[in-house]
């Protein structure tokens, strides 16, 4: 199992719109494509409280490539994303890292 950590840095004031999009649209589409989330977090203390950090669990890099590509090209996602951004851009920057657990990690 590998994990992906993604940090979405929102345009100021747009974090609520991002959270709503995940809750009402994105998670349903991930379920459709077999994408497994491993946790969502907002920043309580740190550089910015306009960030969403989340983790995805993948069986392999090939699994990630197949499922993420299918999700990104899903017409329902493309339409929903455009609709949720009618009031303006939500995310200013995305950071993504693919992580592998150490031998001593409680997460395998």
Rounded to whole angstroms, the Cα distance separating 5 from 107 reads: 14
Can you give the pLDDT at residue 34? 98
User: What topology does CATH give the domain 2-99?
Assistant: Alpha-Beta Plaits (3.30.70)
- pLDDT single digits (tens) 52-88: 999 999 999 999 999 999 999 999 999 999 999 999 9
Residue 54's CB is within 10 A of a number of other CB atoms, namely: 17
Can you give the pLDDT at residue 108? 80
Rounded to whole angstroms, the Cα distance separating 82 from 88 reads: 10
What region does 102 belong to: left with phi over 0, alpha with psi -120 to 50, or beta? beta
Q: How many CA atoms lie within 13 A of 92 on its CB side?
A: 10
pTM of the model: 0.92
| Residue 37 pLDDT greater than 90, yes or no | yes
* pLDDT, averaged across the chain: 96
Can you give the pLDDT at residue 6? 98
Q: What percent of the chain has pLDDT over 90?
A: 95
């Amino acid at each position: 199992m590998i994990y992906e950590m993604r940090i979405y840095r929102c345009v100021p004031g747009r974090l609520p719109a991002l959270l709503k999009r995940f809750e009402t649209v994105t998670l349903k589409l991930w379920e459709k494509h077999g994408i497994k989330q491993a946790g969502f977090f907002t920043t309580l203390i740190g550089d910015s409280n306009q960030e969403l950090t989340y983790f995805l669990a993948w069986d392999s890099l090939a699994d990630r490539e197949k499922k993420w590509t299918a999700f990104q090209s899903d017409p329902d996602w493309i339409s929903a994303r455009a609709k949720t951004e009618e009031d303006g851009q939500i995310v200013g920057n995305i950071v993504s890292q693919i992580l592998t657990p150490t031998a001593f990690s409680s997460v395998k």
